[in-house]
Amino acid sequence: MTTAVLSEQRRNGRLLRNIGFTALPLVIVLWSLTDLTLGRELVTWLPYLGSGFMMNVIISLCAMTLGTTVGAVFGILELVPFKLVRYPIVAYVQVFRNAPHLVLIFATTYIFPFEIVVAGNYLPFPDWLKAVIGLAIPASAYVAEITRGAVLSIPTTQWEAAKGLGFSRGQALRWIILPQCLRRSLPPWMNILASITMGTSLASLVGVHELLHAATDASTSVRRLDFTIIAYIVVMAAFFTLCYPIARLTLHALLPDRPPDPTPRAAFQDGLRI
């Protein structure tokens, strides 16, 4: 495959991406212009929808932060030689990696109390925080497997070299092995981030004020079919705007920038970058 062909494919890919980014906003604008009252209603409700969307972002970031922290620790514990430590972690990973997100969100909503007592004071335990925990559980299970696989992918010669340099096993893991695991773990971790981000819409089913819940409130208040349709198009456009860059960054992490290579394998990978 020649360089000219690859350049043409890249241009076509950029054109398709630009169409994807402009199509949904263009549909929203044109539809609003066909009926000015519809446009005014949409503009009126946009701040409310934006506040719900910010809750989606907060839930996804908190869930991934908690899930990544717990998952990285669990992934390392899956490799310890002690069965009493390893087996419960493996069971946790296998169970919650295959559990539906919606079930976990409902479970955390009703398992955790609505209030907690701290030093005699009653503090609310909000539903959005329960949704964070419900999404962090499967995220931690996936991150644990990613961490375990990344550590096992490092050649044993790295461990032997670290031992020859006088590093303990813990020091070798911290200073030599884990830094190499970071780049290998990044693409699948970003896939989990996109999945958890889209899963935040499930929090609306337990009463969390997020984007989908806000769109439902707006639709119920306006009571117009055309507004309902355009409100959910806005929801779709918002999630696309948030998740598509994650997908592109994942692809760039898988295929880092490098000079063009005319070999068939490199040409195939260059095609994937489009």
What does the pLDDT read at residue 124? 86
Higher pLDDT among residues 45 and 263, named by residue: 45
Among 24-33, 84-93, 123-132, 173-182, which is the least confidently predicted range? 24-33
pLDDT of 5 higher than 50? no
User: Domains in the chain and their CATH numbers?
Assistant: 3-272 (1.10.3720.10)
Q: Is residue 21 scored above 80 in pLDDT?
A: no
Q: Which tens digit of pLDDT belongs to each residue from 22-58?
A: 666 666 666 666 767 877 888 899 999 999 999 999 9
pLDDT at 118: 79
Alpha-carbon gap, residue 229 to 234, rounded angstroms: 9
Residue 269, pLDDT score? 44
Residue with token string 């819409």:
201
pTM: 0.80
Q: What is the dihedral of CA 136, 138, 141, 143, to 10 degrees?
A: -60
pLDDT at 1: 46
| 116-171: pLDDT as tens digits | 877 778 888 899 999 999 999 999 999 999 999 998 888 888 888 888 888 887 78
